[in-house]
Each structure stands twice: as C-alpha cells, then as structure tokens.
C-alpha cells in the first residue's frame, strides 16, 4: 500500500520542502512489506521536526514510539555530529526494523535503541543520569501522553522542546470519539495549563503539540 497524503496542503508543503530521498522511501516500503501499520508522520511533519530541532540547537533527542524509524531518521538527520538519539519502542519487531533504518541512513552512530514499555525506559534514562535532554518527541500510546509530558517537564533542559504527534486526531479532537481521542484532548488541556511550558499546537499534518521548557 502506498502512503496517501489526504490533505492537499500537506502534499503542497511536502513537494516543496520535504521531498523523500531513497532511504526514506525504502523505510516506507520496508514497513509496508513487514506489515507495520501505516501511521508514521508525514514528510512535511518530518521537515517541521527537523527545523524545530535545529532551531533550539538540540544535541539529544528522545523519541517515544519509534515504529520502523521513519520519523527517527528525519529527526536524527537534524542532529550535529556528536548528537544522541534515544529510541524507545515496545515491540521488538518495530525496534529491529528501526535499527535497520538507521543503519541504512548512515545514522547508526547516534542511535541508542531501548526496547520495552516507554514508562520503564524513561525511568531508566533518568536513573542513568543521561539527561537533561534537548528534544522529546511523543508518538506512542495516547493514553500515556500526559505521563510522558510529566517526564519531559522533569527531564528537558531549560529551552528544550517537547513535541507530541496527533494532537488534532484527524479533526476529532473537538468531538472526541474514542478512548484515544479523549486522552489526547486531556493531554492538550494538560499542556496548555502546564506552567513549565510555553506551548501551542502547530496545525500541520495531524497536529503537532509543542512546548518549550521554561
């Protein structure tokens, strides 16, 4: 199945600013071949994440929910030569494919893959004293987004950034329909009320909630 971009505005932005190279196209076809769900970010969202990472001069990134590594490769490409990418993924099938994607992209040098439930992995990251971190991208189970936000508030440096995917839930965020929709609405409210962050939602793709750690 070829990934279709439903929103013509996303297509317009992607065509101009976010053309996929051979590696990104390979990741999507390989994900498809391995029956991974077609739920990665879009090219224009990947480009936006790169710009945000560069804008704050991020040298370390924590991704919660990696799938086949598509968003990870977009983001890791914005890191400097001594950058670090911590990839948190529950399913070993996904983690293995993401490792392959980073290798294929020539990005194996920055990758630390941490398999298991993200809440456990985040606690380990804190305990290992690897933080504070510069950039946290949340894109895993929606019901835990608010917990991931709490961790980001505790573990981002001042001026660091949190970005959370699917903030608009295909438009359903204003009339939540599922447990996940409701969890996302709760997350957006929590972020808006969180005094530790300056925040908003960037309405590109499926909506990127972003917050700068004060």
Residues that bind ligand SAH (CB under 6 A): 39-41, 65-67, 70-71, 88-91, 94, 117-118, 139-141, 144
Angstrom distance (rounded) from CA 43 to CA 48: 9
Q: Which does 169 bind (CB under 5 to 8 A by kind): ligand SAH, Mg ion, none?
A: none
Residue 44 in contact with Mg ion, rule: CB under 5 A: no
Give me the least distance between CB of 195 and ligand SAH, in Å please: 27
C-beta separation of 163 from 90 below 8 A: no
Closest CA to 142 of 162, 120, 167, 176: 167
C-alpha angle 46-73-83 in degrees, rounded to nearest 5: 110
Contacts of 10 (CB under 8 A, 6+ apart): 42, 44, 204, 205
Angstrom distance (rounded) from CA 75 to CA 85: 9
Helices (H), the chain: 8-17, 22-33, 43-55, 70-76, 92-104, 118-127, 145-155, 179-193
Give me the least distance between CB of 157 and Mg ion, in Å please: 25
Residue with Cβ nearer ligand SAH (65 or 160): 65
Residue 173 DSSP code: G
**What part of residues 60-89 is at the interface with Mg ion (CB under 5 A)?**
none
C-alpha angle 60-62-157 in degrees, rounded to nearest 5: 55
Residue 45 in contact with Mg ion, rule: CB under 5 A: no
Which window, 6-14, 18-26, 138-146, 176-184, contacts Mg ion (CB under 5 A)? 138-146
Q: Which does 141 bind (CB under 5 to 8 A by kind): ligand SAH, Mg ion, none?
A: ligand SAH
Residue with Cβ nearer Mg ion (40 or 131): 40
Residue with Cβ nearer Mg ion (196 or 206): 206
Report which secondary-structure segment, H or E, holds 196: none
Give me the least distance between CB of 114 and ligand SAH, in Å please: 9
Give me the least distance between CB of 4 and Mg ion, in Å please: 16
Residue with Cβ nearer Mg ion (67 or 113): 67
Residue with Cβ nearer ligand SAH (43 or 83): 43
- Give the chain's length: 214
Of the residues 84, 165, 196, 213, which one makes contact with Mg ion according to CB under 5 A: 165
| Interface with Mg ion (CB under 5 A) | 139, 165-166
């Amino acid at each position: 199945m070829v990934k279709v971009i439903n929103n013509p505005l996303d297509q317009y932005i992607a065509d101009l600013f976010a053309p996929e190279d051979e590696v990104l196209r390979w990741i999507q076809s390989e994900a498809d071949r391995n029956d991974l769900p077609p739920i990665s970010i879009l090219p224009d969202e990947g480009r936006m994440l790169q710009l945000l990472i560069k804008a704050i001069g991020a040298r370390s990134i924590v991704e919660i929910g990696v799938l086949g590594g598509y968003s990870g490769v977009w983001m890791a490409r914005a890191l400097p030569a001594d950058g670090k990418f911590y990839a948190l993924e529950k399913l070993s099938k996904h983690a293995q494919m993401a490792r392959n994607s980073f290798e294929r992209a020539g990005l194996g040098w920055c990758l630390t893959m941490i398999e298991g439930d993200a809440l456990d992995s985040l606690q380990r990251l804190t305990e290992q004293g690897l933080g504070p971190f510069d950039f946290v991208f949340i894109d895993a189970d929606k019901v835990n987004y608010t917990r991931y936000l709490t961790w980001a508030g505790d573990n981002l440096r001042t001026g660091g950034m949190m970005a959370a995917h699917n903030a608009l839930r295909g438009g359903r965020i204003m009339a939540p329909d599922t447990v996940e929709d409701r969890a996302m609405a709760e997350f957006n409210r929590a972020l808006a009320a969180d005094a530790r962050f300056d925040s908003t939602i960037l309405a590109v793709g499926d909506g990127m909630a972003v917050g700068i750690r004060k």
